[in-house]
Chains A and B, each alone.
Chain A
């Protein structure tokens, strides 16, 4: 199985900050990676697919990059609505797997 390791597990930041979340795969997944945002009590919401493609309707301050085993999600300037949990997800091979998540908190 492909293990997905996210870092950091928790990130404290302020409105307007630029933040980066990293996701590492235990083997190459090419660009078969998605990022989701989840707020408490809600279903996940797709942000990025194919490592760097922005889902329709998602603000352009969200950027995904990487390929192979190293990926990043960057939020260029945090808005109050961005404080949530974020998960990476590999869909290169079965069983599909998620990272353990990054909780983005208000500093």
Chain B
């Protein structure tokens, strides 16, 4: 069974940093594009970033470029999101998600999702 388990969320002050992790199991992690999607409290979904199977390509939404870094460790079946210079508007549940098909050269829709981890940016 495919499982994606996020961790690392919590309360952080504006300007601070946080590193989210997503532990994957039940599939060959190194074969899939992976993504982060967030949802502010009571709001809609926002695509944040994704990363190619080998980490050679990454893409970001403009609002996090230069502040967030997506990365992966295929040896440990793990996805990460390093978040720096955090702002109040980054407060959200952050979901880790997986593409549907292994081996694609391009990112795709999102088939498998974790349960999310809450990040709260507040003083």
Residues of A within 8 A of B (CB): 1, 34, 36, 38, 42-46, 49, 55, 87, 89, 91, 94-101
Residue contacts A-B, CB under 8 angstroms, 12 given: A1-B62, A43-B115, A44-B45, A44-B110, A45-B113, A46-B100, A87-B44, A87-B45, A89-B110, A96-B47, A96-B59, A98-B47
Nearest chain B CB to A75's CB is how many angstroms away?
19
In the complex, chain B residues 21-73 whose Cβ is within 8 Å of any chain A Cβ = 37, 44-47, 50, 59-62
Interface size class of B (residues with CB under 8 A): 20 to 34
Say whether chain A's binding surface is mostly helix, strand, loop, or mixed: loop
Nearest chain A CB to B27's CB is how many angstroms away?
15
Establish whether residues B44 and A99, one from each chain, have CB atoms under 8 Å apart when the complex forms.
yes
Other-chain residue from A43, A55, A101 in contact with B44 (beta carbon distance below 8 A): A101
Establish whether residues A95 and B61, one from each chain, have CB atoms under 8 Å apart when the complex forms.
yes
The complex places the Cα of A43 from the Cα of B47 at a distance, in Å, of 14
Establish whether residues A43 and B109, one from each chain, have CB atoms under 8 Å apart when the complex forms.
no
Establish whether residues B62 and A89, one from each chain, have CB atoms under 8 Å apart when the complex forms.
no
Establish whether residues B60 and A43, one from each chain, have CB atoms under 8 Å apart when the complex forms.
no
Give A87's nearest chain B residue, CB to CB.
B45
For the complex with contacts A95-B59, A95-B61, A98-B47, 19 further pairs of A-B residues with Cβ separation under 8 Å are: A1-B62, A34-B109, A36-B110, A38-B45, A42-B115, A43-B115, A43-B116, A44-B45, A44-B113, A46-B109, A46-B110, A46-B111, A55-B111, A91-B107, A91-B108, A91-B109, A95-B60, A98-B45, A101-B44
